[in-house]
Amino acid sequence: MNNVSIIVTCGEQQMQLRQLLPGLLSMPYGGEYEVIVVDKMHDKDLEEWLEDMEAQHSCLSHTFCPASSRGLDIQRLALTLGAKAANYEWLAVLPVDVNLPSEDWLRTLSKCCGDEVDVVIGQTKRKSRWNWLSSIFRRSFSVFNPTSSIILCKRNILLQSQTLKLSNCHIIKL
């Protein structure tokens, strides 16, 4: 099992984060994983709650987008900050409002990870109608519009923003 860093970005969706995080921190997985929350708004209440959660869960950490970065693509910056904070090669990128299909979603996706694979896309239903992750993924990596909500990719791919070959991408129905 590959070790995985799970990146969750959060803006004004604090309620969704408070619902998602306990499930992520208690899921069964055969390898090691960490959860990195990137706060795009740098909210003090959220920061205090995350610090309390970090005291209980050693696999949780958080960071934030500085206020001075408001002229940049804030979502792209949040993903970059999460990737730089990651300790593992494989990154799972989740929107905060994802509806996780099962507690085995990470195990299912990570089975496809390997040297010859750059990206694994897990297709699942989403709570919101806005396909946030698909648009970020499409803009960032020049991939056709996937109807996914969970993307697992190598850290260097996310940080380099290189164009991916679809032959290096696995799509899995969760």
Q: What is the pLDDT of residue 143?
A: 37
pLDDT digits (tens, 9 = 90+) for 129-171: 434 444 445 444 433 333 346 888 888 888 875 554 444 554 5
CB 145 within 8 A of CB 134: yes
Q: What is the pLDDT of residue 163?
A: 52
pLDDT digits (tens, 9 = 90+) for 47-78: 999 999 999 999 999 999 887 866 777 888 88
**Is pLDDT at 99 greater than 60 in this prediction?**
yes
CATH at 61: 3.90.550.10
Give Cα 165 to chain centroid, integer Å. Answer: 21
Cite the beta strand spans of 4-160 per DSSP E.
4-10, 33-39, 60-64, 90-95, 119-123, 150-154
Q: What is the pLDDT of residue 21?
A: 94
Residue numbers of the domain that contains 136:
4-173
What value does the mean pLDDT take over residues 116-138?
57
pLDDT digits (tens, 9 = 90+) for 8-33: 998 888 899 999 999 999 999 988 99
Say how far apart CA 110 and CA 41 lie, in whole Å: 31
Q: What is the pLDDT of residue 92?
A: 92
Counted domains in the chain: 1
What value does the mean pLDDT take over residues 77-92?
92
